[in-house]
Structure 1
């Protein structure tokens, strides 16, 4: 069943080949490549996460027991003693200042769930869900919180 699901979903989500790139597409692709190179050359960020950012991100997690590839669940993170927060916050800020994002946070554990209850399930009647790293979720929530705060600062009502 795993091989069948792999074949089915890899066909559904395979990258489409583009036979013709217009001059605009080529310019956009080159701009994105140059932008990516520019981002890698950037110095460290001008901000760091605060303990309040980190606490908010943890509080906003849903208390689910499903875990991603790192075998850590949201519930586990929510149950961490606050004395451990500073260690994780230092690690997050180190990742932020060095422009790194751990590669294992970019992988997901995929599960197939049946759309309906039946004894024999065809692959077309399943839906896939991807479980990602919970620490990656917390890091992302901190980033989003910081972005929202900066967007509000830049907004000037008329």
Structure 2
């Protein structure tokens, strides 16, 4: 027993300063009996899949596809760039490609082409140069490889839920090379938006140096600490239902034109969003390739959060025009609050803001989610809600 204790203490000492090592985390997972490892997840999905046989398996896959992907839809592919020319953003891609290659995450599952990030990071200088030339050819032509628009969707069980078809979530595996190209475009576009202050200051999601803490602090300072002695502040929280899956491509592309992002970024995003394909599988069984619905932003994409933000810039601007309200947008959550005026005036302003959100959401192919939206009335102790 003493020897075992001494060996254990020695092992613990050896682990000091090694939390960045994969072996350390593997040991910790084994000690706590984690059921969320890749091997356990694979076994669970295989057990779910093996409940079905023969033609029943095909039906199950179709049901999963219908539930999580939906029917194919066709977007207007004729939409053209109408913004100002932007020679700086249209310039050929250079050292950015090398930076994106070297910053690729090591342990990432590849897409259909089988090319891993480890392979990409091991490219020599000549190979990176040739890859840069290849990417620039597509950059100039506004085209994209089919493999870079394809997703291998894997269904995995939700953590802590009973393992069955109702408790699955989709994970999209896309091309690692395609993601390198995405990171290049993302960096160029993000720099343009932030340096030129094209994103409204009321937009907090997926931006450098901004977080939920900043938003919560603002609400605390403007709503919770300014409650009048004989009155109330009112906050309206709205949520856009399945926003990333349903936002229209037109809303994204029109947003790019209005921001003057240049012809080449517009062409890239248009090619990136349109004509996407996928397969969906669980536990070793998989559908044939199908066309993805031409709406929403691709799951797991480097660009998707920014593209969604671009579609929402118009909403932020519309809300800023309503005098008397304050608002903040974090991805698909819109928070609006009023701290001045009579109760009737506050209600009128909030209704106007809600109507603005609803109208803009419809324009973008979206809708508010009633079950995730609510009104919060903030008042001091002793305030009579029935007779304010």
TM-score, scaled relative to structure 2: 0.31
What is the root-mean-square deviation of aligned Cα atoms in Å?
3.2
- The answer to whether the 8 A contact 1:64-1:75 is kept is yes
- The answer to whether the 8 A contact 1:8-1:123 is kept is no
Q: How has the CA–CA distance of structure 1 residues 93 and 57 changed in structure 2, closer, same or farther, with 3 Å as cutoff?
A: same
1:40-92 deviations in whole A, cap 9, x for unaligned?
A: xxxx98311112x1122123322124110000111221122233110000000
1:90 aligned onto 2:146 = no
2:117 aligned partner = 74
Task: Measure how far apart 1:16 and its partner are.
Answer: 9.1
1:46 aligned partner = 90
Distance 2:78 2:108 in 1: 41
For structure 1, list consecutive stretches of 5 or more residues without a partner in the other structure: 18-28
1:111 aligned onto 2:154 = yes
* Equivalent residues in 2 for 1:2-151, closer than 5 Å: 3-12=58-67, 13-15=69-71, 34-35=78-79, 38-39=80-81, 46-51=90-95, 53-116=96-159, 121-151=163-193
Which has the larger share of helix? 1
For structure 2, list consecutive stretches of 5 or more residues without a partner in the other structure: 1-48, 50-56, 82-86, 199-388
1:76-118 deviations in whole A, cap 9, x for unaligned?
A: 2112223311000000000000111112211111222233589
Instruction: Mark the structure with the bigger radius of gyration.
Output: 2
TM-score, scaled relative to structure 1: 0.70
SS at match of 2:93: coil
